[in-house]
Structure 1
């Protein structure tokens, strides 16, 4: 069991996000500094896991094979920085399918905990750019980090204006690179 586990959302944290979905390998574009951040985390002994909603699969916008090609590209691009991905967990369902794995539900996080022989993920950093990313890790005790990349700035500003609150103890950082800097210092 690793003590240094970190869970990352994908779109908006590692790569650019789009309201039109990331449907092709050409649309999968790393956020500046994210690849180096994963390398920094891996080199410092963190086991990096990705947990991502991918409803574009359920909507028929792209295939599971296309998504896997994006993840292979990620693995290729982080390798020169010493980066490794220990696992990718994804939900292919649309919201109306009412699954238990689509964030903000905690199904993917329960699966990650089981893989590491844990009942809970107390203190495990969960890095996301949306409220649902952070909410998914809360029942298992994750430490939420909101990054301002992707939809993160809108998530942060919306919470300030409409009274919705980020989960207790949420740490707000400018990017995944800033999170890696903090955790590796």
Structure 2
């Protein structure tokens, strides 16, 4: 099914991963300070466009740098403030941000691919229906997270390796969030 065939309107929710989708991922490291947060090209404009289509835009991001003690929750909040500021300057919005600071080895329900952050989002916004939601992410855990909940999945990556290896997990593939936003608008 083509993306344009989906009846996306303000009753739909878009879940976004952060690192690698909204901002540059730091290879082998974590974005620990606002100075390290570098938005990917076209993302602020893309989120503005997507906000015109979706009722809610919610970030769900694993951030185990906190659990590893490499940064504090306050550091993460400062990075979050910079992200919100850059998006707002472009006329966009994020309705909520949920982070899972636990270590991957803890297998906590809040860490993707588990569904805790989605359940927390629905608690905050009871009108969310996962069958009328999409997840745009760059990792296998993002795609698994979406499929566990019956969402449409959008792989955002320079490489469509995940789509080639496990095609049933990826409904749509784009090289950037900007490309996705332009196709859906």
TM-score, normalised via structure 1 length: 0.86
Counterpart for residue 17 of structure 1: 25
Q: For residue 147 of structure 1, report the CA deviation from its aligned partner.
A: 0.7
1:182 maps onto 2:169 in alignment: no
Q: For residue 66 of structure 1, report the CA deviation from its aligned partner.
A: 1.1
Residues matched between the structures, number:
175
Q: 1:134-158 CA distances to partner (integer Å, 9 max, x unpaired)?
A: 1112121111000115xxx2xx326
The partner residue of 2:63 within 36, 49, 54 is: 54
Counterpart for residue 92 of structure 1: 101
Gaps of 5+ in 2: 1-9
How many Å separate the matches in 2 of 1:119 and 1:84? 17
Q: 1:118 to 1:93 in 2, by over 3 A?
A: same
The partner residue of 1:65 within 35, 60, 74 is: 74
Q: For residue 174 of structure 1, report the CA deviation from its aligned partner.
A: 1.3
In the alignment, is the contact (CA less than 8 A) between 2:11 and 2:54 conserved in 1? no
Bigger CA drift: 63-72 or 38-47?
A: 38-47
In the alignment, is the contact (CA less than 8 A) between 2:16 and 2:135 conserved in 1? yes
1:170 maps onto 2:171 in alignment: yes
Counterpart for residue 157 of structure 1: 161
Gaps of 5+ in 1: none
Q: For residue 80 of structure 1, report the CA deviation from its aligned partner.
A: 2.5
1:110 maps onto 2:119 in alignment: yes
TM-score, normalised via structure 2 length: 0.86
How many Å separate the matches in 2 of 1:21 and 1:45? 29
In the alignment, is the contact (CA less than 8 A) between 1:47 and 1:86 conserved in 2? yes
How many Å separate the matches in 2 of 1:39 and 1:119? 20
In the alignment, is the contact (CA less than 8 A) between 2:140 and 2:162 conserved in 1? no
Q: For residue 40 of structure 1, report the CA deviation from its aligned partner.
A: 1.5
How many Å separate the matches in 1 of 2:101 and 2:170? 29
How many Å separate the matches in 1 of 2:167 and 2:32? 29
CA RMSD, 1 decimal:
1.9
